Chains A and B, each alone.
Chain A
Amino acid sequence: MSQPVTYFELTPKNIFRLTFALIVAISLSLFIHQSGTVLFTFLKLSINLVVLPFLLSLVLTYILAPVISWAEVMGIEKTRSILILFLVLLCGVVGVSALISPFAIDQITSLRAEVPRYVKILIEQVVLVENYLNSELGLAKKIKITTTLTHWVEQHQGDVVEWVFRFIRTTFSLFLLVPLFTFFLLHDGSAMKRGILSLTPNRYFESLLIILHHVNRSLGRFIRGQFVEASIIGLIATIGLKLVGVKYFWLLGFLAGVCNLFPIFGPLISMILTFGFSLLDSGSLFFGFIAITPLLFGQVVDHVVLMPLLITKTASIHFMTGIMAILVGGVMAGALGMVVAVPTVSILKLSFREILRHWKTRNHVG
């Protein structure tokens, strides 16, 4: 008669045990981190060196995979089609960089030179507010915003520009690893998937196959949707800001595209920055408001046209979750960690949703 084959049972009790073990492991890691040992540094380093390039390559793979599939249908061999695509992309990147970089570098250099002037204007305005408050309210203890603010600004005024430079430097250092990882993911992605599946116990094999298929499909749609959405918003913002006459239209347009990846507060941050820079540059409050109109128009297009077309509702995450993800991403992997945090959480949410859906179908729940 049949022999019982025992594997790890996915029962609520075992899930609880696994969760408990994970919590203990995370708490231990945090404790070790607090104790100042090398574990956290090692984790951070490996995230920067391997996980981050891998995540970016994965995103790029999802964006490029349809092109490779199309080439395969056309009868072009896979290796050849990937190499041709890389060549086309390289030409595109070099061409676009050659066109844009002189303006972009000009704007960054100009911004770097202008920051002290903007800070001075800002402090002057704060002094006016401070004087008004002190004279009108007649408080016994005088408000000293300027002293505190000046002190803070003196310490941090180079930070924003440095942050932008560090971000660009890190991105360029990834230029070596990301294409390499992307090539192998595009070329051997399906073989890797088969390899992972071949290691799966029979009991979970069919479930994993179905889950991987659904996650893969949803992820592909989500990532491609986000990419197209951010590109269109970035383009609308850049053209709009140029038409309106904003000085740093390249930088602020690019920022509007990137910020659009973060739900709700991303566009808000981009608008505040655009408003702030335009106000400081022109000295006119009216121009500050005019400057954000292209961004508002972009948001209308995004919500009315792009989001219903491109983004699946299931992938959207809550505002608070987004903030927490960005904070954790920032601690773990700096600026780029912050950029990939929200997409990563969306990906995890999609995956868990698919797993739960499959589990419910398999166990005839709901």
Chain B
Amino acid sequence: MDSVWGNIFRFERDRVDNTKFLEKIPIFAGLRKGELRALERITHLRKFQRGEIIFHKNDPGVGLYVVRSGSVRIVIDQPGASPSGEEPILLANLLVGDFFGEASLPDGSPRSATAIAEEESELIGLFRPDLLDFCSRDAKTGNKILWNVCEVLAKRLRHVNDALSSRKVALQKEQSK
């Protein structure tokens, strides 16, 4: 098979693989095969080199990324650190199947941290403008995705609340000693 046809068929195979991969991601849970195929058509597969910045903190939030291969570091600068100064604080190390940036999907708010490719990585991006168009065309599937996003955000909010509560309790205990 020559390279042109090889590339065309590989493109189709990639799409099928992406659909199968997306099926396992919690944000796309409960979507049927046809819905997943429609969703796959609005996603973007991006390849990043080792050390390449995916986005910076405070960049306009455009959407979420799912790690398809490789790994991603989420970092923030030390408070008051100069840009070329101290090592940034590592918030999370994300592996295959993990996703990040979902908070910008509902409101397009600026990125709260910087994302860097830890190694050569492939990410699947789902972006706000495409999702908004998709929701206006296919409200039923769009609804399912948005509910899933809400669930994830609610879980993360609960987690942050719990962490904050336990910190406050610990602080109060220390102050009372």
Contact = CB atoms under 8 A, between A and B. Distances in A.
Interface of A: 1-5, 69, 72-73, 190, 194, 197-198, 202-203, 205-206, 209-210, 213, 358, 361-362, 364
Contact of A206 (B48, B50, B55): B55
11 contacts: A2-B52, A2-B116, A5-B53, A73-B138, A198-B45, A202-B46, A205-B44, A209-B127, A209-B129, A210-B129, A361-B60
A69 B137 contact: yes
Interface in B63-78: none
B48 A202 contact: yes
B137 A358 contact: no
Contact of B59 (A202, A206, A213): A206
Interface residues of B, number: 25
Contacts of B50: 2-3
A202 B44 CA distance: 11
Interface string B138-152: 110000000000000
Given A2-B116, A198-B44, A364 B129 contact: no
Contacts of A5: 49, 51-53
Contacts of B138: 72-73
Shortest 5 CB-CB contacts between residues of A and residues of B: A2-B51, A213-B129, A3-B51, A206-B62, A5-B52
A69 B58 CA distance: 34
Contacts of B55: 206
Interface in B109-141: 116, 127, 129, 136-139
A210 B60 contact: yes
A73 B142 CA distance: 12
Contacts of B45: 198
B62 A1 contact: no
B95 interface: no
A194 B42 CA distance: 8
Contacts of A358: 60
Contacts of B136: 69, 73
A202 B137 contact: no
Contacts of B52: 2-3, 5, 202
A213 B138 CA distance: 18
A205 B44 CA distance: 10
B59 A362 contact: yes
B137 A206 contact: no
A206 B46 CA distance: 11
Contacts of A190: 41-42
B91 to A, nearest CB: 16
B54 interface: yes
